[in-house]
């Protein structure tokens, strides 16, 4: 799957949205990649998962972990394709943590998988959980990299779709300055 094919899947499923959006990071933008619209279709989840799993198949990963809510489905699919455990991290009192009896074993190599990377904040929080539990962050995978390939995590990174999309600090948002398009927050940070 190349970038154009991946983007066409987003457009066909209604996952490529245009307007005025508030991202989980607090930044604003004119395009939102709604992975839930895409990942509701198992065949696309499989295809996007395959891009990530293929890249990491020989990296010795023994578990995949994704941040809730957006990363759960794709992390599970990548884990399924790699034949390893699937974990997820979730917010408790605003802090990313692992719960529900899920565990990271000391020395275990984990792949962190997210749906969309804008600033990488959620991924970095999950990487910290892995380190705190004496695991090893072996890499990061994502369905969409909004940074155009400029994000750095200090580990191998593979996105199925890489785009350079606008993202602004709220005080510099030209859409806010125009004032005619309402701000929408479609993300899941407060769930």
Q: Sorting pLDDT into bands at 50, 70 and 90, what band is 191? A: very low
From 38, 120, 121, select the one nearest 73 (Cα to Cα): 38
* pLDDT of 111 higher than 60: yes
DSSP 8-state assignment for residue 148: S
Packed helices 70-82 and 42-56: angle between N→C axes, nearest 10 degrees: 60
Which pair of tokens denotes residue 185? 């927050």
Q: Where are the domains of the chain?
A: 35-165
Which pair of tokens denotes residue 187? 């993300």
Q: How far apart are the first and last CA of the chain?
A: 32
Packed helices 70-82 and 121-132: angle between N→C axes, nearest 10 degrees: 60
Question: Is CATH 3.50.50.60 correct for 35-165?
Answer: no
The number of C-alpha atoms within 13 Å of 148 and in the hemisphere containing its C-beta is 4
Q: Model-level pTM?
A: 0.90
Contacts of 159 (CB under 8 A, 6+ apart): 117, 141, 142, 143, 144, 145, 149
Beta bridge partners of 17: 32
pLDDT at 167: 86
* pLDDT of 190 higher than 60: no
Q: For 168-185, what is each residue's pLDDT tens digit?
A: 999 999 999 888 899 998
Q: For 28-54, what is each residue's pLDDT tens digit?
A: 999 999 999 999 999 999 999 999 999
pLDDT at 187: 66
Give the largest CA-CA distance in the chain.
Answer: 52
């Amino acid at each position: 799957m190349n970038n154009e094919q991946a983007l066409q899947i987003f457009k066909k499923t209604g996952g490529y949205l245009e307007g005025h959006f508030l991202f989980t990071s607090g930044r604003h933008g004119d395009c939102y990649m709604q992975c839930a619209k895409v990942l509701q279709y198992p065949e696309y989840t499989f295809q996007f998962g395959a891009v990530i799993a293929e890249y990491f198949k020989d990296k010795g990963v023994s578990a995949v972990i994704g941040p809730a809510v957006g990363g759960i489905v794709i992390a599970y699919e990548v884990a399924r394709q790699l034949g390893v455990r699937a974990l997820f991290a979730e917010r408790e009192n605003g802090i990313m943590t692992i719960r529900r009896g899920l565990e990271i074993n000391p020395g275990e190599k984990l792949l962190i998988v997210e749906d969309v990377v804008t600033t990488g904040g959620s991924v970095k929080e999950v990487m910290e959980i892995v380190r705190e539990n004496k695991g090893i962050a072996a890499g990061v995978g994502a369905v969409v990299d909004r940074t155009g390939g400029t994000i750095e995590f200090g580990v191998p990174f593979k996105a199925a779709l890489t785009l350079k999309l606008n993202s602004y600090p709220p005080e510099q948002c030209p859409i806010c300055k125009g004032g005619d398009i309402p701000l929408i927050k479609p993300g899941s940070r407060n769930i």
